[in-house]
Amino acid sequence: MFSSTKLNELLNKIDKQQKQINEMRPLPPNMAKQLRQYYRVSFTYTSNALEGNSLTETETKIVLEDGITIGGKPLNDHYEAAGHSDAYDYIYKLLKTKEITEKNIKYLHKLFYNRVNKNCAGCYRRCEVIITGSDQKLPKPEKISGLMSKFAGNIKNLEKENHPVVYAAKLHKELVYIHPFTDGNGRVSRLLMNLALMQHNYLIAIIPPILRSEYIQAIRRAEHDENDFIKLVAQCVKETQNDYLRMLS
- What residues act catalytically? 179
Q: What is the 3-state secondary structure (H, E, C) of 185-237?
A: HHHHHHHHHHHHHHHCCCCCCCCCHHHHHHHHHHHHHCCCCCHHHHHHHHHHH
What does the alpha-carbon distance between residue 175 and residue 184 come to, in Å, rounded to a whole number?
Answer: 11
Q: What does the DSSP assignment read for 44-108? A: HHHHHHTTT----HHHHHHHHHH-PPPTTS-HHHHHHHHHHHHHHHHHHHHTTT----HHHHHHH
Nearest to 225 by CA among 163, 157, 173: 173
Rg of the chain over Cα atoms, rounded to whole angstroms, equals: 18
